[in-house]
Amino acid sequence: MATSKSVPVQTTKLTPTVLQATDMPGLYGAELARILNLSCGYISLMANGKKLLETGSEAWDRGSFIVL
């Protein structure tokens, strides 16, 4: 489990920001998973604070575009 002590601050901020940005237009977790190229289970873990987007990953890059 990733914690804010073991990951950069921008990592701990992007994940919840992406989740909030996709919640506003009513996107489902499955749609976010498709956009980020992640599994629905991983999105669920992110929503529960157990996983974060990895800095520099494809999902990170795609998530950055969502919040720009």
The 10s digit of each residue's pLDDT in 1-60 is 444 456 666 778 889 998 888 877 778 889 999 999 999 999 999 999 999 999 999 999
Distance CA 22, CA 52 (A): 15
Q: Backbone phi, then psi, for 21, in 5-degree steps?
A: -65, -35
Q: Return the number of other C-beta atoms located less than 10 Å from residue 63's C-beta.
A: 24
pTM assigned to the model: 0.76
Taking alpha carbons only, the member of 21, 18, 19, 27 closest to residue 63 is 18
Report yes or no: 18 and 67 within 8 Å, Cβ to Cβ: yes
* CATH class as words, domain 9-67: mainly alpha
